[in-house]
Structure 1
Amino acid sequence: MDLQDRINAFVKLGEFLNQFQDNISIKNDNVQANDLFYEGFKHQLKLAQEHNGWFTKQNIAFTLKNWSRALTEENISQWLKKYDFQTVNPQTVAIIMAGNIPLVGFHDFLSVLISGHTVLVKQSSNDKHLLPFLAKYLEIVNPDFKGKIKFTEEKLQNFDAVIATGSNNTARYFEYYFKNKPSIIRKNRNSAAVLTGNETKEELEALSDDIFIYYGLGCRNVSKIFVPKDYNFEGFFNAVYKWNPIINESKYANNYDYNKAVYLMSEFDMLENGFLMIKEDESYASPIATVFYEYYDNSKTLQEKLKTDADKIQCVVSRSFTDTTIQFGETQNPELWDYADGEDTIEFLLKI
């Protein structure tokens, strides 16, 4: 199986996922193996929602829409064109996946297989229904994938390299346990936004998507905003109000009520609008239903701070604060070449 064969299989997977990106799935009879997999995947989607209350129909649909958009011939070819796959020495790469958002480990899964390696997946118990089914689809559209995709719930064994994602605490365990293996170990990261006070209503409304999509559980969700002294939050609160129905989601509402009670009992100063609290805090990792904010005096000092804190930050949102910042509303729409933690996964896989 050469690189183009692998690309073709994932393009077909993208066409399959394209049927499920809206609240109402629409079957496309031109999709390969649809009679075998369409109804089955609808069932897996239902199971994923029932198993994990954070995996709502809307959140799963958003994930599938993004992946169907990414898995095109044009996108995959653009992503891979700078790499040389001729010297790949096929290995077994273990992936330890997180479970904070649907299919959060799919990019690593894709990267390992597209590079010509065998993948050994240890899933999070929070997200265990979707990926094994999609792996079966890949094996049907390209039987050469059979034997190249393995899942385990047991202790990882017989692997040559590892990509592991977890908390800062589990990362220390991973670093020790996998010290003799080539590895990528990912820790906690959060995303931030830099506001100047000159943002348009449309930009702030887009920022609210960066905050609330996936309930703020992803590392690309904005959990911290930097604002100038004397910033007026009225425009911010007005712009994010379109997300007010989120308080009707029971798991989100429970977290909102709990964190609000903690802040009130602790006599912390905070502002809130009935579904979101903002609190001045130097940390990047805010609880659900909370966004931290921090004042800055001048742009240069803040740019230096962001560089110093780079290992805590997944991405920064702003109009054009630095050369690497992301536009408002785009944090949850990464391209295939937007690597987690800025570490080139394909480059790593080509060297093991």
Structure 2
Amino acid sequence: MAQQLETLKAFVKLGEFLGNYCDFPNGNTSFEPDDKVWFQKLDQIVQTAKHHNGWFTKENILYSFNQWSRELTHENIQEWLNKYDLEKKNEKTVAIIMAGNIPLVGFHDFMAVLITGNRALVKLSSNDKLLLPFLAEYLKSIESDLGNQMVFTDEVLTGFDAVIATGSNNTARYFEYYFGNKPNIIRKNRNSVAVLQGNETNQQLQLLGDDIFKYYGLGCRSVSKVFVPRDYNFDILYSEMYAFKDIIDEHKYANNYDYNKAVYLMSEFKFLDNGFLLLKEDEKYASPIASVFYEHYDSTASLLEKIEADSDKIQCVVSSGFMEREIEFGNSQKPSLWDYADGVDTVEFLLKTS
């Protein structure tokens, strides 16, 4: 338990470091002198990450850092872990196969493995190979014993006791075939939706823009589909989305917008267009980049039934006053430590495995 307390303190210090790094350009000087050297190293990592993955803009990386700095406080971590019995000690090696769709998308799994006293055997996505190893080095500089609990590898995974793997529906079948004989969490494709009832305020619709456009819509918590009443006026929605018009200046996003618009035109699909976001009526949940699908609903009851029936496809529901398990507008990319991907309690899984 003493080691776990030291691990907790290391993650709190990491949270402070990430917050200070984000504030440093604004003149913040409330950090330890040694951290300035780490800031310079991280500057290079952030710059290089954009070259490795064009979606990892500095803005999106810093947004991720800021969110983690807000979560990694002593109070938040204690609240997260209070319900678990962390006294159990039977250290296991947990293989973590990470996705790379948004910056540090696998950090929560990494943290959960370490804070439960297990060893993390990490296989990074080729799209996100720089950020987490840097944070791991910083953690080791605070608590040297953590160096024995984390290994990054590009080799075939061997010598592990359990697996946490995140990927597409296709890779999930591969994961289930190879890792089905081990305790596992295997995550597939999921998307997030918003439910509009026609009485949203202008501010709520503006906040929905964050849920749609943050990370260019690449995250499983990004809203890729909206449910709207039968007579919904999309002009109001588009009016509030205009604040995000500059996203079209990002060439990778613009290329996707142009391509998907061309596909829709050639296929003679009906769609709405405001110059940077395409709205297409479609029953599917996973919309292409620069597009959001929409679907009409006739009653709250029927939509609740549909969402419940499709719960294995939906990561979260953004709305206000529609259902019990909803996320307020603008908060889909701000999960708390206890907001588990796919609703599967990672810490409980790790403790049972131990």
Both structures adopt the same fold (TM-score exceeding 0.5): yes
Equivalent residues in 2 for 1:101-120, closer than 5 Å: 101-120=102-121
Matched, 1:250 2:245: no
Task: Provide Cα deviations, 1:229-269, integer angstroms capped at 9, x if missing partner.
Answer: 11110100001110000001100000000000000000000
* Aligned twin of 2:67: 66
* Aligned twin of 1:206: 207
Q: Is the 8 A contact 1:23 1:57 kept in 2?
A: no
Q: In 2, Cα distance between the equivalents of 1:205 and 1:23?
A: 28
Equivalent residues in 2 for 1:52-63, closer than 5 Å: 52-63=53-64
Q: In 2, Cα distance between the equivalents of 1:50 and 1:148?
A: 30
Assess, with a 3 A threshold, how the Cα gap between structure 1 residues 26 and 132 changes in structure 2: closer, same or farther: farther
Q: In 2, Cα distance between the equivalents of 1:180 and 1:33?
A: 46
Q: In 2, Cα distance between the equivalents of 1:98 and 1:144?
A: 27
* Aligned twin of 1:143: 144
Matched, 1:233 2:234: yes
By how many angstroms is 1:3 displaced?
2.1
2:148 is paired with a residue whose SS is coil
Q: In 2, Cα distance between the equivalents of 1:333 and 1:136?
A: 25
Of all paired residues, the percent bearing the same amino acid is 61
* Aligned twin of 2:223: 222
* Aligned twin of 1:187: 188
* Aligned twin of 1:325: 326
Q: Is the 8 A contact 1:226 1:293 kept in 2?
A: yes
* Aligned twin of 2:132: 131
Assess, with a 3 A threshold, how the Cα gap between structure 1 residues 163 and 28 changes in structure 2: closer, same or farther: farther
Q: Which amino acid aligns with 1:270?
A: F
Task: Provide Cα deviations, 1:107-128, integer angstroms capped at 9, x if missing partner.
Answer: 0000000110000100001101
Q: CA RMSD in A?
A: 1.3
Q: In 2, Cα distance between the equivalents of 1:292 and 1:88?
A: 47
Matched, 1:174 2:182: no
Assess, with a 3 A threshold, how the Cα gap between structure 1 residues 31 and 107 changes in structure 2: closer, same or farther: farther
1:146 is paired with a residue whose SS is helix
Task: Provide Cα deviations, 1:166-224, integer angstroms capped at 9, x if missing partner.
Answer: 00000011011001110000000000000011111000000011000000000000000
Task: Provide Cα deviations, 1:139-163, integer angstroms capped at 9, x if missing partner.
Answer: 1100111211100001111111010
Assess, with a 3 A threshold, how the Cα gap between structure 1 residues 26 and 162 changes in structure 2: closer, same or farther: farther
Q: In 2, Cα distance between the equivalents of 1:319 and 1:20?
A: 34
By how many angstroms is 1:30 displaced?
3.2
In the superposition, the TM-score normalised over structure 2's length comes to: 0.97
Assess, with a 3 A threshold, how the Cα gap between structure 1 residues 66 and 242 changes in structure 2: closer, same or farther: same
* Aligned twin of 1:264: 265
Q: Is the 8 A contact 1:75 1:336 kept in 2?
A: yes
* Count of aligned pairs: 352
1:155 is paired with a residue whose SS is coil
**5+ residue gaps, structure 2:** none
Q: Is the 8 A contact 1:22 1:61 kept in 2?
A: no
Q: Is the 8 A contact 2:194 2:319 kept in 1?
A: yes
Q: Which amino acid aligns with 1:278?
A: L
* Aligned twin of 2:123: 122
Q: Is the 8 A contact 2:297 2:303 kept in 1?
A: yes
